[in-house]
Structure 1
Amino acid sequence: MSDAFPLSPISARQELGKPLPEQIANFIAEKIFRGDYQPGERLKEEELANLFKTSRAPVRESLYLLQIDGLVERLPRRGTVVKEYTNKEIQELYEVRLGLEQLAIDKLAFSWNDDAHQQFLAILSEMKTALKDFDTISYASHNAKFHKLLFKLAGNEILSRLYQQLGNPLTALLHLSVYKQEHMESSYHEHEEIVRALHDKRFQLAKELISQNVNHGMNRAMQLRK
């Protein structure tokens, strides 16, 4: 599924070159990321089919795609609902994420240069703009780009692929973990410190700061369940 999701059924139908089930899946994923569909909320095939003016078959397939991605689940007598992650699942997801990101920093240490620094600064600038506008969706998107850049610059395709397999569940939790202004501000300053440590080639410090950032995000995601 694509990184950029449409914001309406009409724009979803206009995603050129993509099968309708994938377009619908992208639209539903965006709604989940925005919090329009809440964890545990039922997704009714008939209502979605009416929304997209289509039969239930492509809707059913789109829900299957989202189930594979870990964003929805099928429950007995309830049908398809937005997945509710347990604290154990959240902790395990963030633990794997942290291990991969710290390994990416180890790899990045061998290829760190000014171009890499400038790429991180560009994303920080976008995050700062989103913070000033209190645009949680934009901030979360650039936040995700920041962490993906670690793997891109690390230059290890298998490592990057493993991170991508965390996919949409991590993206959903990432969006939810910065839904308050103070969360965004804290997150932004943490990312600033990570880039500063990388620029100073203090890679062990960068790993420690990544650990703090990931753990703070995990704790915020867990708080949402209370």
Structure 2
Amino acid sequence: MFNSISDGSEQFGMSLPQQISRFILEKIIRGELTAGDKIVEEEIAKELNTSRAPVREALYLLQVKGIVDRVPRRGTIVKPFTDKDILDYLFVMVGIIQQGVDLSKDSWTKENQGEFHGLFVKAKQKYNEKDVIEYQNHTEKLFRFIIYMPNNKALIKFYEEANQILNIFAQVQWDIKTMENFHPKFIEFATAILESNFVQAKEAISEALKKGKG
């Protein structure tokens, strides 16, 4: 993931510890690190060509999220991460996006609708190109647009927390079939937003995310 990184650098708007925590989380979701495995700071630091300090901070971030645990005399241990955990995050994400839809109702100016439509068009283009990763990126930008529009700091915080895990899960687990299952309800969701049919949009996003689980 990293060829060479140094303390204090930022890539893609993320701090170095956040990048490292994402790297470790990817390993867990892929099954390269499983429940009970010990995460050795020195090994991660060597693998990523960085010092142990940002690795230690990354592990703290994962501990706060309940992904790893500090065990006396054992160090940092991977906690169980099951399909139920993913479903729990999906359930929360559905509620967050639905809340975003409700809070954004009075913010749909022509300018915002135009920007949203532009994101929608790009997502559909990536679907037609069968580019799974870029399709994920563009659909996430569309969801993010809705979440950030009301400028509700609590909503944004909850979204970012859940999205970090679900986004990595999607990148690891999604394939063309998953994308094809997700897409029709995504189309329904975005179309309903553009038509100001917010009730339908909330129903569609619930179904879309369920199908995105696979």
Q: Same fold (TM over 0.5)?
A: yes
Q: Give yes or no for contact 2:90–2:210 (8 Å, CA) kept in 1.
A: yes
Q: In the alignment, does 2:3 pair up with 1:9? A: yes
Within-5 A mapping of 1:24-63: 25-27=18-20, 29-30=22-23, 32-33=25-26, 38-39=30-31, 41=33, 42=37, 43-63=39-59
Aligned residues: 205
Within-5 A mapping of 1:1-226: 7-10=1-4, 12-13=5-6, 16=9, 22-23=15-16, 25-27=18-20, 29-30=22-23, 32-33=25-26, 38-39=30-31, 41=33, 42=37, 43-70=39-66, 72-74=67-69, 79-81=76-78, 84-176=80-172, 179-218=174-213, 220=214
Deviations 1:70-110 (A, max 9, x none): 5x4147668444x6533433333222222222222122222
Distance apart, 1:31 and its partner CA: 6.8
Distance (Å, rounded) in 2 between the aligned partners of 1:94 and 1:53? 34
Q: Give yes or no for contact 1:69–1:169 (8 Å, CA) kept in 2.
A: no
Distance (Å, rounded) in 2 between the aligned partners of 1:213 and 1:54? 39
Structure 1 residue runs without a partner (length 5+): 1-6, 221-226
Structure 2 residue runs without a partner (length 5+): none
Give the counterpart letter for 2:43 in structure 1: E
CA RMSD of aligned residues (A): 3.2
Distance apart, 1:212 and its partner CA: 0.8
Distance (Å, rounded) in 1 between the aligned partners of 2:101 and 2:179? 23
The TM-score, its normalising length taken from structure 2, stands at 0.75
Q: Give yes or no for contact 2:29–2:169 (8 Å, CA) kept in 1.
A: no
Query: In structure 2, do the counterparts of structure 1 residues 140 and 78 end up closer, same or farther at CA, with 3 Å as the change threshold?
Result: farther
